[in-house]
């Protein structure tokens, strides 16, 4: 089957990444050399660079090697938060991550999607909010518009829905509530 697509009809000109093309190019190479590249073990360099590019970061933030961040100027991370190896923060929209959050290895925070109901496949973006004490398990996906409320958990290899209630553990695709989270002090 030979299908031709007229790419000129795809118009997402409404989308604004937030910085000019020069800043985006500088970030692209900075991201490739200092973030995605697993050979840079120095967290303080990554923190410094994120701040230069406009990320708002609290104290004690740890960004592990091989993390991919789309736009640091659309990222806010609270105190004592840990971002694990190979996390992909695809923040076409704003992402706010609270204090004492863990985003485990290989997780993906995805702010964008496309409207499959339109022939123009329009881009759709929504912000993501991850509140204090939440834990996003390894290889999980947080979808556009998700709110992970205080101390919620998205278990390993799960896909989030729109709202994860506080002190609740979710698992699966789509993630469903499996039990309440009890924290022993």
Is residue 5 a part of any domain in this protein? no
pLDDT, residue 118, reads: 87
In the chain, the N- to C-terminal Cα span, in Å, equals: 62
The answer to whether residue 58 is domain-embedded is yes
Which domain, by its residues, includes 135? 19-180
Domain with residue 75: its CATH number is 2.160.10.10
Q: Is residue 60 part of a domain?
A: yes
Task: Per-residue pLDDT tens, the chain, 185 aa: give them.
Answer: 444 445 455 567 778 899 999 999 999 999 999 999 999 899 999 999 999 999 999 999 999 999 999 999 999 999 999 999 999 999 999 999 999 999 999 999 999 999 889 888 889 999 999 999 999 999 999 999 999 999 999 999 999 989 999 999 999 999 999 999 999 87
**Cβ distance 142 to 107 under 8 Å?**
yes
Instruction: Answer whether residue 6 is part of any domain.
Output: no
What pLDDT score was predicted for residue 98? 98
In a domain, 154, yes or no: yes
Joined together, the tokens standing for residue 19 give 């910085």
Pairing of strands 168-172, 175-180: antiparallel
Asked whether residue 7 is assigned to any structural domain, the reply reads no
- Predicted confidence at residue 3, as pLDDT, reads 45
Tell whether 169 is covered by a domain.
yes
Two tokens, residue 128: 């993501």
| Dist CA 24 CA 88 (whole Å) | 17
* pTM, two decimal places: 0.91
> What is the number of structural domains in the chain?
1
For residue 14, report the phi and psi dihedrals to the nearest 5 degrees.
-70, -25
What gap in Å lies between CA 87 and CA 185, rounded to an integer? Answer: 28
Question: Tell me, what's the pLDDT at 13?
Answer: 74
Does a structural domain hold residue 71?
A: yes
């Amino acid at each position: 089957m030979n299908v031709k697509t007229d790419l000129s009809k795809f118009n997402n000109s409404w989308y604004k990444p937030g910085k000019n093309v020069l800043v985006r190019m500088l970030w692209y190479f900075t991201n490739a050399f200092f973030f995605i590249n697993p050979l840079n073990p120095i967290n303080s360099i990554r923190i410094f660079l994120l701040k230069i590019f406009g990320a708002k970061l609290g104290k004690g933030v740890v960004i592990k090697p091989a993390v991919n961040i789309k736009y640091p100027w659309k990222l806010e991370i609270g105190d004592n938060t840990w971002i694990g190896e190979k996390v992909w923060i695809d923040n076409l929209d704003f992402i706010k991550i609270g204090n004492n959050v863990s985003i485990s290895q290989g997780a993906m925070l995805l702010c964008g999607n496309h409207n499959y109901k339109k022939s123009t496949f329009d881009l759709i973006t929504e912000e993501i909010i991850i509140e204090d004490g939440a834990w996003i398990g390894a290889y999980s996906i947080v979808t556009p518009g998700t709110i992970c409320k205080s101390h919620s958990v998205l278990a390993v290899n799960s896909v989030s829905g729109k709202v994860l209630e506080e002190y609740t553990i979710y698992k699966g695709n789509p993630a469903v509530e499996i039990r309440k989270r009890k924290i022993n002090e």
